[in-house]
A and B are shown apart, each in its own frame.
Chain A
Amino acid sequence: GQQVMQIPQYQHVQEGEDFTTYCNSSTTLSNIQWYKQRPGGHPVFLIQLVKSGEVKKQKRLTFQFGEAKKNSSLHITATQTTDVGTYFCAGPGDSNYQLIWGAGTKLIIKP
């Protein structure tokens, strides 16, 4: 069945360093969504990308949707402690009535 792979599972960075997480779908996606979940919290919707090759920015966060609409990335510039959490991507499933979730990438700031 359709899968959304997300890597890496964890990323440890020093505060101020950059962070990137990648999602790859086994099939072409009509759109892809990104969520952030703080430790102990529930996922919060960040953005939805729809167009091929789309790039969107939210302050230090840059979201990209691949030309083939099968991959996406989230890049955070100069991480801060407030960025700590798990970032999930999710895309519509085969039936379009489902969301297929990536496994999430946990951003950890080294002490």
Chain B
Amino acid sequence: GAVVSQHPSRVICKSGTSVKIECRSLDFQATTMFWYRQFPKQSLMLMATSNEGSKATYEQGVEKDKFLINHASLTLSTLTVTSAHPEDSSFYICSARVGTSGRGEQFFGPGTRLTVL
């Protein structure tokens, strides 16, 4: 089946530093990847939609200069949290969609727990 990996699974950093999270589709090509943020016991919140070779589309309220997304290949998207602050501490999950249809199945990564001190 389709597998999506994320790295790292957990990161702790100091306030003001930048953190990069990688999302990879291991056995399929993903034209579109999604980045979500999840607060405890709450729904996933879509942050941005990442299309290979083009700029990401950010949801309202998500700062594109703070959450940099790069989708350089059909198997890799990265999310960089720049100048991280404690309020950025959260669980970040990516997913990759098979195909270009808006109804294509999404496969989720295991998530990355970010803690900013």
Decide whether A and B are members of one complex.
Answer: yes
Q: Is the CB of A44 within 8 A of B113?
A: no
Within 8 Å CB of B106, what residues of A?
Answer: 37
Instruction: Output the least CB separation between B91 and chain A (Å).
Output: 8
In the complex, A95 has a CB within 8 A of chain B: yes
Instruction: Output the least CB separation between A108 and chain B (Å).
Output: 12
Q: Which residues of B contact A (CB under 8 A)?
A: 1, 9-10, 34, 36, 41-44, 46, 91, 93, 102-103, 105-108, 110-113
Q: Is the CB of B110 within 8 A of A99?
A: yes
Within 8 Å CB of A90, what residues of B?
Answer: 108
Q: Which residues of A contact B (CB under 8 A)?
A: 35, 37, 39-40, 42-45, 48, 86, 88, 90, 93, 95, 97-101, 103-104
**Alpha-carbon distance between A103 and B103 when the two chains are bound, in angstroms:** 16
Q: Is the CB of B41 within 8 A of A35?
A: no
Within 8 Å CB of B112, what residues of A?
Answer: 97
**Closest 10 CB pairs between A and B?**
A45-B43, A98-B110, A97-B113, A97-B10, A40-B102, A101-B108, A39-B103, A42-B46, A99-B111, A44-B43
Q: Is the CB of B10 within 8 A of A95?
A: yes
Within 8 Å by CB of B41, from A48, A93, A100, lies: A48
**In the complex where A95-B10, A98-B9 touch, is A42 in contact with B105 (Cβ < 8 A)?**
no
Instruction: Output the least CB separation between A6 and chain B (Å).
Output: 11
Instruction: Output the least CB separation between B55 and chain A (Å).
Output: 20
Within 8 Å CB of A99, what residues of B?
Answer: 91, 93, 108, 110-111
Instruction: Output the least CB separation between B97 and chain A (Å).
Output: 10
Within 8 Å CB of A44, what residues of B?
Answer: 43-44
Listed residue (A90, A99, A100, A103) with the most chain B CB atoms within 10 angstroms of its CB: A99
Q: Is the CB of A42 within 8 A of B34?
A: yes
**Alpha-carbon distance between A80 and B109 when the two chains are bound, in angstroms:** 30
**Alpha-carbon distance between A35 and B105 when the two chains are bound, in angstroms:** 14
**Alpha-carbon distance between A97 and B112 when the two chains are bound, in angstroms:** 7
Within 8 Å CB of B41, what residues of A?
Answer: 45, 48
Q: Is the CB of A42 within 8 A of B44?
A: yes
